[in-house]
């Protein structure tokens, strides 16, 4: 499966579609990650402090919360602000780019909500047939 035409591969690479070398993938990876979408939705309601996010997101560990926020910050979707008080206070908020992501993201999530019973049904049928 390696003997594809070079033109096709180059086309893909320049379009950023090749999963091995892909700027688009970084966005899709956020969507696929376990917590980032939830965090983005929570931040949509306004800036939040670290522990407030933790309380709002059931079952997320501090480790994953930190890690998820860092990856979002790294890609410019979330802004992190440290206020040097004691005890320390850190505020997270959506950047303009982060805000602009929400529209297509909401579109996808809305589709998922609308179709989730259909998906569930299809899955049950499939699982019933395939032992």
Burial status of residue 94 (CB atoms within 10 A of its CB: 0-12, 13-18, 19 or more): buried
Nearest alpha carbon to residue 38 among 96, 114, 95, 102? 102
Structure-block tokens of residue 19? 């999963």
Residue 90 engages a second copy in binding (rule: CB under 8 A): no
Nearer to a second copy, 58 or 87 (CB): 58
Site string for DNA, 18-37 (x = CB under 7 A): -xx--------x---xxx--
Q: Which is nearer to DNA, 45 or 103 (CB)?
A: 45
CA–CA gap between residue 127 and residue 64 (Å, rounded): 32
Report if residue 73 touches a second copy, rule: CB under 8 A.
Answer: yes
Q: Is residue 8 a contact residue for DNA (CB under 7 A)?
A: no
Closer residue to a second copy in complex, CB, 45/103? 103
- Is 90 in a helix, a strand, or coil? strand
Q: Is the peptide bond before 120 cis (omega within 30 degrees of 0)?
A: no
Q: Which of 15, 24, 28, 90 binds DNA (CB under 7 A)?
A: 90
Residue 99 is a binding residue for a second copy (CB under 8 A): no
Read off the tokens for 120. 């569930």
Residues that bind DNA (CB under 7 A): 19-20, 29, 33-35, 49-52, 59-64, 66, 69-70, 80, 87-91
């Amino acid at each position: 499966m390696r003997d594809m035409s070079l033109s096709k591969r180059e086309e893909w690479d320049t379009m950023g579609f090749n999963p091995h070398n892909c700027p688009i993938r970084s966005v899709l990876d956020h969507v696929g990650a376990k917590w980032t979408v939830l965090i983005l939705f929570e931040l949509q309601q306004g800036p939040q402090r670290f522990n407030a996010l933790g309380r709002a997101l059931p079952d997320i560990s501090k480790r994953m919360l930190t890690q998820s926020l860092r990856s979002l910050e790294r890609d410019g979707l979330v802004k992190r602000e440290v206020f040097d008080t004691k005890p320390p206070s850190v505020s997270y908020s959506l950047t303009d780019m982060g805000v602009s992501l929400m529209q297509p993201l909401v579109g996808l999530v809305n589709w998922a909500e609308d179709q989730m019973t259909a998906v569930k049904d299809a899955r049950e049928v499939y699982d019933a047939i395939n032992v």
